[in-house]
Amino acid sequence: MAIDYAVPDEIRELAARTRAFVNEQCVPAEGVLLDSRHGIPDTERARLQGLAKAAGVFAPTGPTEYGGHALSHTAQAVILEESGRSLLGPIAMNCGAPDEGNILLLDKVATPEQKDRYLGPLVRGEMRSAFAMTEPAPGAGADPESLKTSAVKDGNSWVLNGRKWFITGGVGSGFAIVMARTPGGATMFLVDGSNPGMKVECALETMDIAFSGGHAVIDFEDCRVDESMVLGSVDEGFRYAQIRLAPARLTHCMRWLGAARRTHEHAVAYAGDRQMFGTNLASLGMAQQLIADNEIDISASRALIWQAAWVLDQHKSGKQETSITKTFVAEAVYRIADRSMQLCGGSGTLLDRPVARIFQEIRPFRIYDGPSEVHRRAIARRASRNAEKGLLPGDWM
C-alpha cells in the first residue's frame, strides 16, 4: 500500500500559523527559562496558552468536543514539529509531555464521568497532569514488569503504597495517572493532586529544566482512592500503557525534531555571517560537512516520523515503527544540536541563546520513553520473531 505524504492545504495553513505563533510569541519569552529550574511559572503558562487560543493553534491533539483540533498522527507530525521550534511552544499549545499523552489515554480509556472531570479541563489547559510509572531501583523503569508500587482493594476503595520518581509535571499537577501492581497484573488509577496520600517530596535537579513541574519524586503512603478512579479495567494497566506509549514516543520525536531544526537554522545563519580565513565559515569544507550531515539527519528523522505516523493512522500497533523512529530520532537530534554547537563555536555554549539551551534539554531524550538500548533489544527481538515466521522487513507494507 502506498503512503501519501502530501500535506493537505488546511494543515499547511495551520503549520504556517503555528510557526508564526511560536516565532512571535514563544521565542521572545524564552528568557523566563533562565530564571527557573523546573519549567515556567503557571502564570506565564496561562498567558502563553491564552495567546495560543487566540491564534487558533491550541490543543492540536485534543478531541474536538473539548476544544481541540483532533489531528491525525500524520497531521500531528507537521504541526508538532513546528511547535517544537521553541521549548515553550508545546507548553503554550498544550501539546507537550506528559499532558499530550494523558489526553490520548483518557480519550481512549476513561469513562464519560472521568472525561468530564479530568480530560476536559486537561484539554482546555485548566490543569496539568502527571503519569506516575517510573520508580527508583529495583522498581519499574525501562522494565515495567519490575513495578513495585502496590494497590490493595479495601471495600469500595483501593489503597496505594509505593514510591515514584522522574515523574514529569509532578509538582503542581491537578492529578496523576498512577500505575500500581494489583493481584492479577497492573492497574491505572486517577489520583487527585489534593489527595493527602500522594505526597510530592521534591523536584529532581536534572539537566533539562523546561518541563512544567519538573521531574518529581512522589510518595504514595496509604493513598486511598475510590473504585470509580480506576482508569479502564483492573489488571489491564500494562495493556493500556501500550495505547499511550507508541503515539507518545512519536510525538516526542516530532517536537524534538523541531527543536533540533532550530539549532541547525541558527548555526547555518551564523556560519554564513562568520568571517574567518578570508571567507565565511559556511564555505569551509569541514563546516559544510557539519551542515550537510545535519540536513541528512533532519530529512531521515522526518521520513521515519511520517512513516510511523502513517502506520498509527492505519490503526496498527506501530510498536516496531515507533521504536525504530524513537531510537534513530533521539540520537539524530542530539547529533544535530551537537554539530550546531560546534559550528557556532564559543557562542554556541551560551545558555541565553537557542543552541545551548536546546542542547541541554535534548540529551535526556535518549533515555526517557525507553533508552536507545532497550528499544534496540525490542527491535531485534521482533525482527527475529518475524524471521521465524518467514516475514521479511517491510512485509507490513
Task: Residues 129-235: name the CATH superfamily.
Answer: Butyryl-CoA Dehydrogenase, subunit A, domain 2 (2.40.110.10)
Which 3 state secondary structure label does DSSP give 339?
helix
Task: Residues 9-96: name the CATH superfamily.
Answer: Acyl-CoA dehydrogenase/oxidase, N-terminal domain (1.10.540.10)
pLDDT band at residue 183 using 50, 70 and 90 as cut-offs: very high
Q: Confirm if 291 and 268 have CB atoms less than 8 A apart.
A: yes
What per-residue confidence (pLDDT) applies to 4? 78
- What DSSP line would sit under 19-86, residue for residue? HHHIIIIIGGGGGGGGG-SSS--HHHHHHHHHHHHHHT-S-TTS-GGGT-----HHHHHHHHHHHTTS
What per-residue confidence (pLDDT) applies to 392? 73
Mean pLDDT computed over 212-229: 97
- The residue among 35 and 235 whose pLDDT is bigger is 235
Contacts of 380 (CB under 8 A, 6+ apart): none
What per-residue confidence (pLDDT) applies to 394? 61
What does the pLDDT look like over 162-179, one tens digit per residue? 999 999 999 999 999 999
Nearest to 369 by CA among 172, 185, 131, 63: 131
What per-residue confidence (pLDDT) applies to 180? 98
Instruction: Please tell me the distance from the alpha carbon of residue 334 to that of residue 362, in angstroms, as a whole number.
Output: 6
Mean pLDDT computed over 286-304: 98
What per-residue confidence (pLDDT) applies to 116? 98
What per-residue confidence (pLDDT) applies to 391? 82
Mean pLDDT computed over 118-139: 97
Task: Residues 238-388: name the CATH superfamily.
Answer: Butyryl-CoA Dehydrogenase, subunit A, domain 3 (1.20.140.10)
pLDDT band at residue 5 using 50, 70 and 90 as cut-offs: confident
Instruction: Please tell me the distance from the alpha carbon of residue 173 to that of residue 175, in angstroms, as a whole number.
Output: 5
Mean pLDDT computed over 85-106: 98
What does the pLDDT look like over 383-396, one tens digit per residue? 999 999 888 766 65
Contacts of 74 (CB under 8 A, 6+ apart): 306, 309, 310, 313
pLDDT band at residue 35 using 50, 70 and 90 as cut-offs: confident
What per-residue confidence (pLDDT) applies to 240? 96
What per-residue confidence (pLDDT) applies to 393? 67
What per-residue confidence (pLDDT) applies to 286? 97
What per-residue confidence (pLDDT) applies to 395? 60
Alpha-carbon dihedral sign for residues 11, 16, 20, 22: positive
Contacts of 336 (CB under 8 A, 6+ apart): 260, 261, 263, 264, 294, 297, 298
pTM for the complete prediction?
0.95
What per-residue confidence (pLDDT) applies to 210? 95
Whether residue 1 has pLDDT greater than 70: no
* pLDDT averaged over every residue in the chain: 96
What per-residue confidence (pLDDT) applies to 232? 97
What does the pLDDT look like over 335-378, one tens digit per residue? 999 999 999 999 999 999 999 999 999 999 999 999 999 999 99
CA distances from 186 to 8, 146, 198 (A): 41, 11, 18
Instruction: Please tell me the distance from the alpha carbon of residue 95 to that of residue 308, in angstroms, as a whole number.
Output: 19
What per-residue confidence (pLDDT) applies to 36? 84
Residue 161 CA, chain-centre distance (Å), reads 27
Cell 494523558, residue located: 102
pLDDT band at residue 42 using 50, 70 and 90 as cut-offs: very high
Nearest to 254 by CA among 28, 54, 74, 20: 74
What does the pLDDT look like over 45-81, one tens digit per residue? 999 999 999 999 999 999 999 999 999 999 999 999 9
What does the pLDDT look like over 243-260, one tens digit per residue? 999 999 999 999 999 999
Whether residue 397 has pLDDT greater than 70: no
Instruction: Please tell me the distance from the alpha carbon of residue 154 to that of residue 226, in angstroms, as a whole number.
Output: 10
Nearest to 95 by CA among 107, 106, 103: 103
Instruction: Please tell me the distance from the alpha carbon of residue 145 to that of residue 160, in angstroms, as a whole number.
Output: 17
Mean pLDDT computed over 186-214: 97
Domain residue ranges in the chain: 9-96, 129-235, 238-388
What per-residue confidence (pLDDT) applies to 157? 97
Instruction: Please tell me the distance from the alpha carbon of residue 279 to that of residue 197, in angstroms, as a whole number.
Output: 65
Nearest to 96 by CA among 61, 63, 68: 61
Which 3 state secondary structure label does DSSP give 231?
strand
- What DSSP line would sit under 160-228, residue for residue? EEEEEEEEET-TT-SEEEEEEEETTEEEEEEEETT-TTEEEEEE---S---STT-EEEEEEEEEEEEGG
